[in-house]
Each structure stands twice: as C-alpha cells, then as structure tokens.
Amino acid sequence: MILVTGGAGYIGSVLLRKLLEKGERVRVLDTLFFTEIGIKEIMDKVEIVQKDIRDVDESVLDGVDSVIHLAGLSNDPTAEYNPVANEEMNTVATEKLAKLCKKVGVRRLVFASSASIYDLGFFAPDDIKTEDSPVEPRAAYAVSKFKAERVLLDLMDENFSPVILRQGTVFGFSPRMRYDLVVNTFVKDALTKGRLRLNCGGEMWRPLVHVNDAANAFILLSEADEKDVKGQIFNLCYRNFRISELALRVKTTLFEHFGIEVDIEADYSNFKTRSYRMSNEKLKKALGYVPETTVEDAVVDMVKKIEEYRYDDFLNPIYYNIKWMTMLDEMSKTIKKLGRIF
C-alpha cells in the first residue's frame, strides 16, 4: 500500500488516478479543506484518512510500504499569511512523519519540495541551478521546504530511504483545479479578461512542469531501486521559460485552436518577484526521466477540461489557495464564537 499525504490536492488528485491505474492500493491522508472535489469520482477506490498532517500517528502507516508526501502549505502567499502554521506543516510535521516511518519500518518516503529554494530575487545571477548549487532560501515557504529536506537527509540510515523532488512551477488541468499557478492563471485571464498582464515585463524565469509529469515522477521515485535514489535530491522541470514567452505561447495557442484573441500588457513598475532556472539533467541521467508535456498541449487540454468539468466559475475562491484558506480561517473564527452555522 502507498500512503499519499495531501492526496486530494492539485497534484495528488492526478497522482491517485495514476496509482489506481497501476493497480496500487492507496491510502490518502488529507484534511479535505478544499473539499472532496478532486477525488469524488474515485473515493470508493481509495482509503481516506481525514486528518491534519500535524496530527498523524503511526496508525496511518499500518500496512504501508512507501509514502509520497505532498501535504502542507503549498505557496508563498499561504506561508506568509501564517508563518507558524507553515513551519509546523512543512517542516515539523515532515520530521514527525519521517520518524514514524522509521519506527514502523517504512523505508521509502518521497518528499515534495520546491524549486523556489533556488530563488534569490529578480536581480540575482542568472545561472541554471543544479542539485549541488548553493542555496539561500529567503521566503517562508522556501525556507520551510529546505529545512524539511535537511531533516529528512539527517534521518537517513540503513533502514530509512528518503528521496527529495524539487518541483518546478506546476501547470495543467487537475480535478482539484488551481488558477493561482502561472500558466493556469494566464488561461483563466485570457478566458475572462481577454488580456494577460506581465509583471516586470515578464522578464523573470520559471522552471515549468506539467502536473501529469510531476505525478509520474513521484511514482518513478517511489518505485526506483534504492541504490539509485536513496538520499538524493532531484530537480524536476520540463523547460525554463521567461514569463513573457509563456504569455506568448498561451496567446498563440488560444487563437490557433479556439479563435480566442488575447492582448498582452507589460508592467515594469514592480521588480520584487522571483526569478530562477534549474536543470533536469540529474533525473534524466539517473532514471532516464524527462518531462514531456508542452505548454501548448496543456493549454488546449485545460480549455476543454474547464468546460467538461464546468470549472468556469473563475471567481470561486476554492481555485485559489490563499483566498480559500483565509476564508476558511475567518469562518472558523466565526463558528468558534457562535458554536454553529444552522
């Protein structure tokens, strides 16, 4: 059995379907704060443990052979909204889960880290980062992920085999859809506003990877021979893009496939943004894995799936992590005071 923490999330919803297609038995640990929308079609095929990652005990690992650890706060805005919770979920809870794995004999834990660890700001040297590049993460989210990496590697021994995947910015359609990721945001803005706005003129770099390719990478690392992955950090990206190029690719694809015309507006008023590039060569050489889904294919698929799933209620806060989490936080305070809703 495989335990997937955060299995009802943006990547997790795609990953679960792939695991089930392979015939795997899957247990999902998730708060379901974003509801069951991403897994409602497969809920009868997986075991669900609705619990906060900070509250896990060893019972969640009963019968588990390996863990794919996706749970935690997942971007800069949510981390900055509550830095304490960010530290607790992304670092402290990861350490607790790893120690439980060691205690009960679960050898393999694949950890979802982030390429934002490489970010040194817009004006930093423009070089391509490898897994051996020195890092000095600054933002709360990146710091929490980096500290979790250190914890996992420190806990590694002959009985525990952690693997770390530093993902680039993920894009593409998921049953638990997000419109707060750059390509997805561009598609949403194109469909709703007919224009794309580029901060810093779109000059910043991002490493991109499709959600399907990310899910495949997690499966690959969970199944690979221990000698090839134990204690290793792997970058994951399809390609590095300037944001301006992404905008042009989205604009061209929407017109060629759907006849949708989109304007692009450049804003040079704010240069307080992230910019970084990274290499996927280590993962390619070690396991032969190269992400392959293009931005163009993802945009076409996204437009079709948005209509199919009726995810065109673009103002719904559930598609935006920080909007949804802050709304839940405010609601929890109100409910705590009143004691009930109805």
List, in order, residues 6 or more apart from 156 with CB less than 8 Å away.
162, 230, 231
Tokens at 238, concatenated: 């399809």
Q: Which of 10, 141, 179, 289 is catalytic?
A: 141
Number of H helices, E strands in the chain: 12, 14
Tokens at 98, concatenated: 């790893």
List, in order, residues 6 or more apart from 331 with CB less than 8 Å away.
none
10 flagged as catalytic: no
- Amino acid in position 27: R
Q: Phi, psi (5° rounding) for residue 35?
A: 70, -175
* Whole-number Å distance between alpha carbons of 1 and 9: 19
Residue pair 203/242 in contact (Cβ under 8 Å)? The answer is yes
* Whole-number Å distance between alpha carbons of 95 and 101: 10
Cα 300 to Cα 70, 213, 215, 241, 315, distances in angstroms: 27, 16, 20, 19, 21
* Whole-number Å distance between alpha carbons of 188 and 190: 5
- Amino acid in position 324: W
Residue pair 276/206 in contact (Cβ under 8 Å)? The answer is yes
Cα 194 to Cα 88, 165, 230, 244, distances in angstroms: 40, 35, 47, 16
Catalytic residues: 141
